[in-house]
Amino acid sequence: MYHDICDETDASGFAGADAALYKISATEFAAHLDAISGKIKEKPDRVIDWKNDANAVFITFDDGGKSALEAAEALEKKGWHGHFFITTGRIGTETFVGRNEIIELRRRGHVVGSHSDSHPLRMAGLSRAEIFDEWRVSTEKLAEITGEKVVVASVPGGLYSKEVAECAEENGIRFLFNSEPTTKVGKVGNCLILGRYAVQNRTSATEISAIAGGDFAPRLKQSLIWNAKKPLKKIGGEGFLRLRKFLINHKTGN
Q: Report whether 101 contacts 72 (CB < 8 A).
A: no
Q: Cβ contacts of residue 71 below 8 Å, gap of 6+?
A: 2, 5, 29, 61, 82, 84
Amino acid present at 18: D
* Bridge partners, residue 198, by sequence: none
The candidate with the shortest Cα–Cα distance to 154, out of 88, 221, 246, is 88
pLDDT of residue 159: 86
pLDDT in tens, 60-87: 999 999 999 999 999 999 999 999 999 9
The Cα 112–Cα 159 span in angstroms is: 21
The candidate with the shortest Cα–Cα distance to 245, out of 17, 29, 86, is 17
Q: Report whether 81 contacts 49 (CB < 8 A).
A: no
Predicted TM-score of the model (pTM)? 0.91
pLDDT of residue 238: 60
Name residues of the chain where pLDDT drops below 50: 240, 243-250, 252
pLDDT in tens, 229-249: 877 666 655 654 554 444 444
pLDDT of residue 240: 46
pLDDT of residue 199: 97
pLDDT of residue 244: 44
User: CA 217 from chain center: how many Å?
Assistant: 22
- Angle at which helices 205-212 and 26-37 pack, to 10 degrees? 40
Q: Report whether 182 contacts 7 (CB < 8 A).
A: no
pLDDT of residue 246: 44
pLDDT of residue 97: 98
pLDDT of residue 234: 62
Q: Report whether 161 contacts 206 (CB < 8 A).
A: no
pLDDT of residue 229: 81
pLDDT of residue 230: 75
